[in-house]
Amino acid sequence: MILTSSTAPSLMSEPLEDYLETIYLLVQEHGFARVKDIAKARDVKAATVSIALRKLDEARLVNYVRREYIGLTTKGEEAARRILTRHRLLTRFFEEVLGMPAHAAGEQACAMEHVLTDEAMDRMVRFFEFLGTCPSVLKAFGQCPVGARPGDEHSCGAYSPECARCSLNPKESSMSIASMKPGQSAIVTQITATGALRQRLLDMGILPETAIDVERSGPGGHPLWIRCQGARLALRRAEASNILVRRPA
C-alpha cells in the first residue's frame, strides 16, 4: 500500500524519533540535554548516543557542534513535539478509554506513536472531542462487563441512547483562545479547523482536555503567545480562533 503525504507517518527511523523525543523532554525539564543524560534516559552507552546525534545533526534536527550540550533546531523541536503529541494522545486512549494500567498504556503508546498517521490521529482527536460533550458513553463502557477491567466492580444498567450531555453544557463558558486575555487559563474542548491547519494545531500538542495558559499578545492581538503541555507557542489570530476552550465558572 502506498501512503500519501497526508496519511504517511514520519520517514525518520523509530530509534531516531525516540532519541529526538528524549532530547525534547530533557530540554523541557532541565533547559538542556547532555550526552550522558540521554544515555541514562535511553539506557544505552554514550557511544551509541553519539552515533544517533550525528545522524540527527546531519538531518538538521539537532545542534551537535559542541559535544557536551545538545540543542534542538526549530525543525527538530517541531518533529519532537509531533512525536510526543502522538505518544500522549495514544497513552490517554489506552489508559482513559480502554482502562489499561498507566505503565502498560505508556508502553503501547511508545510502540504505536511512530506509525500513527495524520488521519488516524485526527479521528482519535475527534473521538476525544465527542467524549468531552457526551461523557456518559465512556461511563457506560466502563460500567458494562464488556468494557470493565478484570477485577473491577461494575453495574451494567439499561443504556439510554438519549444523553443529556450530547451538546455542550450551557453552564460552561465556551469561547475561542483568540478571545482570551493574557493571564487567563482554560481547557481545550475542540479544534474547529480543518485540513492542514487542523493538523498543524494537533501536532503542536493542542488537544482536547489539555490546559492552555495565555501569556501575552503582540500588537493588535497578533501573535498570541500561549503555553501548552510545557511548550511556549505563538499562534496567529486565525489559528487561535479555531481553538475552542472552556474556562472555570
**Exposure b/e, 14-48, CB count within 10 A at least 16 = b:** eebbbbbbbbbebbeeeeebbbebbbebeeeeeee
Query: How much is the average pLDDT of 65-74?
Result: 81
223 belongs to a structural domain: yes
240 belongs to a structural domain: yes
Query: How much is the average pLDDT of 19-32?
Result: 92
Last residue of a domain, one of 80, 106, 138: 80
Half-sphere exposure of 121 (CA within 13 A, CB side): 33
Q: Which residues, 6 or more positions from 50, have their beta carbon under 8 angstroms from its beta carbon?
A: 35, 67
145 belongs to a structural domain: no
Considering its fold, how many domains does the chain have in total?
2
73 belongs to a structural domain: yes
159 belongs to a structural domain: no
- Alpha-carbon Rg for the chain in angstroms: 20
Residue 189: Cβ within 10 Å count: 20
Find out whether 85 and 202 touch, Cβ atoms under 8 Å.
Answer: yes
Find out whether 70 and 42 touch, Cβ atoms under 8 Å.
Answer: no
Last residue of a domain, one of 44, 62, 80: 80
Query: How much is the average pLDDT of 224-235?
Result: 93
Domain of residue 24, CATH code: 1.10.10.10
The CA distance from 61 to 63, in Å, is: 7
Find out whether 9 and 116 touch, Cβ atoms under 8 Å.
Answer: yes
Domain of residue 212, CATH code: 2.30.30.90
The CA distance from 136 to 140, in Å, is: 6
State phi, psi for 125 to the nearest 5 degrees: -65, -40
Quick one: cell of 119?
488521519
Reported confidence tier of residue 219, pLDDT bands at 50, 70, 90 = confident
Residue 43 lies in domain: 14-80
pLDDT in tens, 84-105: 999 999 999 999 888 899 999 9
Label the pairing between strands 211-217 and 224-228: antiparallel
Last residue of a domain, one of 30, 48, 80: 80
C-alpha distance from residue 52 to each of 18, 33, 65, 73, 106 (Å): 10, 14, 14, 15, 23
Q: Would you say residue 151 has pLDDT above 60?
A: no
The CA distance from 182 to 216, in Å, is: 5
User: Which pLDDT does position 160 carry in this prediction?
Assistant: 40
Query: How much is the average pLDDT of 216-225?
Result: 86
229 belongs to a structural domain: yes
122 belongs to a structural domain: no
Query: How much is the average pLDDT of 6-21?
Result: 75
State phi, psi for 212 to the nearest 5 degrees: -125, 130
Q: Would you say residue 227 has pLDDT above 50?
A: yes
pTM to 2 decimals? 0.72
Query: How much is the average pLDDT of 5-21?
Result: 73
C-alpha distance from residue 112 to each of 23, 26, 101 (Å): 19, 22, 17
Query: How much is the average pLDDT of 63-69?
Result: 75
Query: Which stretch of 2-11, 53-62, 161-170, 234-243 has the lowest confidence by average pLDDT?
Result: 161-170
The CA distance from 143 to 152, in Å, is: 9
Average of per-residue pLDDT values in the chain: 83
Residue predicted with more confidence, 82 or 2: 82
7 belongs to a structural domain: no
User: Which pLDDT does position 3 carry in this prediction?
Assistant: 40
